[in-house]
């Protein structure tokens, strides 16, 4: 068993990885740091006051008194318009109020959602008899940004681990003539590529456990659907990106050429596949194209399982896209693969 | 030279049988019509400067490169068609082999051993290459000589019938070269067939039963090392450094018993079987022509001289472009 060439080739991959501390960090540490940073930056804000500036004038006291009836507004006074403007620019104010109680002037930035919110709150407070509305906040897991972004990060990680891990090692082995050396042994070529695939399946499963465990422990991010469906989709993604890695690494012996190709492939998908932000801003025709990208399929499927609790059978398009990439990229990559 | 080899009864199962081998890259024939036979138990060296076509010839024998024309049979099998079957029966150490540098020596040998159905165990391979002490040393921490011995151990992992070594000692210090030569000789003593390339004449002389001199993709001479030297140069070389005046190659060639004359820089190199006579006559000639001689020496003729005579330039001078 241990002497089987596939096992030995797998050991080469795992030992090479384990003896490279930087690779360990970038594979396991980086997604954690990213989850943490994004989780904190986009954490749900509760009760954070909306800063409002009132410019000094005859009615300033009355205006301030009315605004203070809304506990979510934090009022500051500014001696003149230029001071108020300075506060606004630096983020210390979302709205500026001046003028009289009869004809108040309200400065807000209509392109910023939070400034528009401030406009509405100020308007309501300045009217003498505000409506009594009962607040029913939505705060349960599943609706927050961190819940949205974790499946994206998992997908991104599958992509980078497979593209870089396979691409870099294959091209480096080719440039150092190790591939050529292996090609004059009776080693089965499917064992060589199979070992890469197995090694990356293991790596991806470990990073999946680490990232999901971390996201669950720190932010309570969970998976609504079945865990096994989530894992199956991750494995399908791993196959698709491994095939793509073999394809990108199939000809060149120059690591810089490879870097360019991997960067192009992965950055394009990072932007277009909705890892960090919803793709709903793209026009309809573009979405049709984007749904064909493996990262889109992977991330969409993971979100459907994690956030909406859907099952594998309800995701035929995503499964088909990932399978098609595996077969096409893999077949072409193996066919044109250069050993020397 | 394209003299056909004498017919042999077991031609079809020779370790190496190459006919009319040609490889063209662009408009240049890197290998330009090579016929080569290697018989069982023989150590054959392809000798030539860098760019002569030695490595390309080996690649075609290994089945890595498809010839433009000609045929390659290895151990009775046809290359590159039977590449996998051939790979199971040959062992290869490539020029400046790069083994995975984050594996230990033992892990590397275990990896290569796993590709072959039969062969010595890992401990034997390490011991035969004097690497027992480095079993758990990472490849990147091995010296150049140790790494080359490890490459040789990997080449032997499948108990090969034919071992192919491309420039085995290039880049090694003299001590490491001698240790590697010992290992290669031990291999040959066991009856393994060895085909190697080198551009070091001392390496070729020491290791090879037969030398094939290659220049610009063609075989320009072939034979046992001593035979080649005596056939093309003579037993000795008389070296005359000319510090003042001029002695032409033609004048030198005219000296009785001089077989070949070459001018290398300011030094005349005269190949002969009667070195003392030649030296005495050369001194007479110098005094009549008012030529001042600097350093004068008589050295045994070497393969370097053979190459100089046949190719018109030194082994280290490479392929003119």
Residue pLDDT, tens place only, B204-233? 889 999 999 999 999 988 999 888 888 888
Q: Is residue B318 part of a domain?
A: no
pLDDT at B1: 44
Measured CA to CA, the distance from residue B53 to residue B33 in angstroms comes to 11
Report yes or no for ipTM above 0.90: no
Specify the pairing of strand A73-78 against strand A95-99.
Answer: unpaired
Q: Is residue A5 part of a domain?
A: no
Note whether A36 and A143 are within 8 A (CB).
no
Q: Is residue A340 part of a domain?
A: no
Mutation target to probe the A interface, by most A beta carbons within 10 A, among B107, B110, B114, B161 is B114
Which residue range forms the structural domain that includes residue A75?
A: 50-126
Q: Return residues 154-173 of A near B (CB < 8 Å).
A: 173
CATH number (domain holding residue A122): 3.40.190.10
Last residue of a domain, one of A83, A99, A126: A126
Residue of B nearest to A176 (CA): B98
Q: Is residue B306 part of a domain?
A: no
Measured CA to CA, the distance from residue B309 to residue B198 in angstroms comes to 18
Q: What SS3 state is found at A143?
A: coil
Q: Is residue A119 part of a domain?
A: yes
Q: Which of A99-103, A206-210, B234-238 has the lowest mean pLDDT?
A: A99-103
Dump strand ranges (E) for A56-146. 73-78, 95-99, 104-107
The gap from C-alpha B269 to its chain's centroid, in whole angstroms, comes to 23
CB-CB neighbors (< 8 A) of A16 in chain B:
100, 102-103
Q: Is residue A172 part of a domain?
A: yes
Question: Does residue B182 carry a pLDDT above 60?
Answer: yes
**How many domains does chain B divide into?**
2
**B114 interface with A at CB cutoff 8 Å:** yes
What are the C-alpha distances in Å from A61 to residues A50, A51, A95, B66, B135?
Answer: 19, 17, 17, 92, 85
How much is the CA Rg of chain A, to the nearest whole Å?
Answer: 27
Instruction: Match 């005859």 to its residue by tokens.
Output: A58
CATH number (domain holding residue B221): 3.40.50.300
Same domain, B218 and B247: no
Q: Is residue B53 part of a domain?
A: yes
Q: Is residue A7 part of a domain?
A: no
Q: How far is B310 from chain A (nearest CA, A)?
A: 33
Q: Which two structure tokens, joined as six digits, stand for B310? A: 């046949």
Same domain, B199 and B251: no
Task: Give the DSSP H or E segment for A3.
Answer: none
Q: What number of other Cβ atoms are within 10 A of residue B78's Cβ?
A: 14
Task: Give the DSSP H or E segment for B76.
Answer: none
Helices A30-41 and A189-219: crossing angle in degrees, nearest 10, is 30
**A11 interface with B at CB cutoff 8 Å:** yes
Q: Is residue B308 part of a domain?
A: no
Which residue range forms the structural domain that includes residue B114?
A: 11-228
CB-CB neighbors (< 8 A) of B65 in chain A:
340
How many Cβ pairs within 8 Å bridge chains A and B? 69
Residue pLDDT, tens place only, A115-146? 888 888 888 888 765 555 565 555 555 667 88
Residue of A nearest to B158 (CA): A185
Q: Which two structure tokens, joined as six digits, stand for B6? A: 């004498």
Same domain, B98 and B212: yes
Nearest to A101 by CA among A78, A76, A86, A122: A122
Q: Which two structure tokens, joined as six digits, stand for A162? A: 């497979």
Q: How far is A19 from chain B (nearest CA, A)?
A: 7
Q: How far is A223 from chain B (nearest CA, A)?
A: 39
Last residue of a domain, one of B211, B228, B245: B228
Same domain, A264 and A316: yes
Q: Is residue B316 part of a domain?
A: no
Same domain, B146 and B223: yes
Same domain, A87 and A30: no
Same domain, B144 and B97: yes
Q: Which two structure tokens, joined as six digits, stand for B65? A: 């490169």
Residue pLDDT, tens place only, A66-80? 888 888 888 999 888
Residue pLDDT, tens place only, B164-178? 999 888 888 888 899
Q: Is residue B144 part of a domain?
A: yes
Q: Is residue A331 part of a domain?
A: yes
Does the beta-carbon distance from B100 to A177 stay under 8 Å? Answer: no
Q: Is residue B4 part of a domain?
A: no
**How many domains does chain A divide into?**
2
Q: Is residue A79 part of a domain?
A: yes
Nearest to A149 by CA among A270, A244, A250: A270
Q: Is residue B28 part of a domain?
A: yes
DSSP state of A29: I
Q: Is residue A94 part of a domain?
A: yes
């Amino acid at each position: 068993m241990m002497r089987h060439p596939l096992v030995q080739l797998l050991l080469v991959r795992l030992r090479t990885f384990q003896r490279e501390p930087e690779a360990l960090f970038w594979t396991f540490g980086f997604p954690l740091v990213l989850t943490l940073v994004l989780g904190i930056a986009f954490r749900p804000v509760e009760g954070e006051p909306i800063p409002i500036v009132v410019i000094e004038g005859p009615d300033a006291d009355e205006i301030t008194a009315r605004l203070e009836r809304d506990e979510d507004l934090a009022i500051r006074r500014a001696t003149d318009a230029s001071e108020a403007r300075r506060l606004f620019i630096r983020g210390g104010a979302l709205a500026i109020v001046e003028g009289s109680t009869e004809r108040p002037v309200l400065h807000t930035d209509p392109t910023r959602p939070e400034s528009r919110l401030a406009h509405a709150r100020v308007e309501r407070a300045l009217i003498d008899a505000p409506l009594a509305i009962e607040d029913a906040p939505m705060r349960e897991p599943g609706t927050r940004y961190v819940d949205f972004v974790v499946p994206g990060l998992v997908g991104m990680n599958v992509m980078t681990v497979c593209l870089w891990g396979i691409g870099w090692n294959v091209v480096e082995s080719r440039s150092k003539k190790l591939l050529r050396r292996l090609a004059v042994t009776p080693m089965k070529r499917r064992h060589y590529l199979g070992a890469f695939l197995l090694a990356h399946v293991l790596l991806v499963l470990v990073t999946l456990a680490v990232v999901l465990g971390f996201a669950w422990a720190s932010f309570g991010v969970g998976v609504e659907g079945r865990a096994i469906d989530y894992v199956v989709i991750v494995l399908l993604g791993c196959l698709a990106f491994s095939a793509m890695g073999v394809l990108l690494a199939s000809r060149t012996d120059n690591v810089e050429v490879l870097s360019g190709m991997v960067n192009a492939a992965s950055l394009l998908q990072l932007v277009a596949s909705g890892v960090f932000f919803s793709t709903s801003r793209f026009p309809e025709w573009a979405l049709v194209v984007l749904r064909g990208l493996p990262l889109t399929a992977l991330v969409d499927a993971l979100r459907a399982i994690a956030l909406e609790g859907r099952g594998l059978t309800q995701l035929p398009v995503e499964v088909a896209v990932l399978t098609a990439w595996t077969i096409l990229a893999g077949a072409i990559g193996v066919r044109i693969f250069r050993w020397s | 030279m394209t003299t056909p080899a004498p017919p042999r009864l077991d031609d079809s199962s020779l370790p190496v049988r190459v006919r009319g081998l040609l490889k063209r890259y662009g408009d240049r024939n890197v290998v330009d019509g090579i016929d080569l036979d290697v018989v069982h138990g023989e150590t054959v060296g392809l000798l030539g400067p860098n760019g002569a076509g030695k490595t390309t010839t080996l690649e075609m024998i290994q089945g890595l490169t498809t010839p433009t024309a000609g045929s390659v049979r290895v151990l009775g099998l046809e290359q590159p068609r039977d590449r996998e079957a051939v790979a199971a029966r040959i062992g290869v150490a490539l020029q400046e082999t790069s083994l995975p540098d984050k594996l230990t020596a033992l892990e590397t040998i275990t990896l290569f051993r796993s590709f072959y159905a039969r062969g010595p165990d890992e401990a034997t391979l390490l011991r035969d290459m004097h690497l027992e002490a480095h079993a758990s040393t990472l490849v990147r921490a091995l010296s150049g000589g140790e790494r080359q011995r490890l490459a040789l151990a990997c080449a032997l992992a499948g108990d090969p019938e034919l071992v192919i070594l491309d420039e085995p000692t290039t880049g090694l210090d003299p001590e490491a070269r001698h240790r590697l030569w010992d290992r290669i000789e031990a291999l040959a003593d066991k009856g393994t067939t060895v085909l190697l390339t080198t551009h070091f004449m001392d390496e070729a002389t020491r290791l090879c039963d037969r030398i094939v001199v290659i220049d610009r993709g063609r075989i320009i001479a072939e034979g046992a090392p001593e035979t080649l030297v005596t056939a093309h140069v003579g037993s000795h070389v008389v070296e005359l450094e000319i510090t003042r005046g001029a002695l032409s190659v033609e004048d030198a060639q005219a000296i009785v018993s001089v077989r070949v004359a070459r001018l290398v820089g300011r030094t005349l190199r005269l190949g002969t079987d009667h070195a003392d006579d030649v030296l005495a006559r050369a001194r007479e000639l110098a005094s009549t022509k008012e030529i001042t001689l600097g350093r004068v020496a008589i050295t045994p003729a070497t393969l370097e001289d053979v190459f100089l005579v046949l190719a018109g330039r030194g082994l280290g001078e490479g392929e003119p472009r």
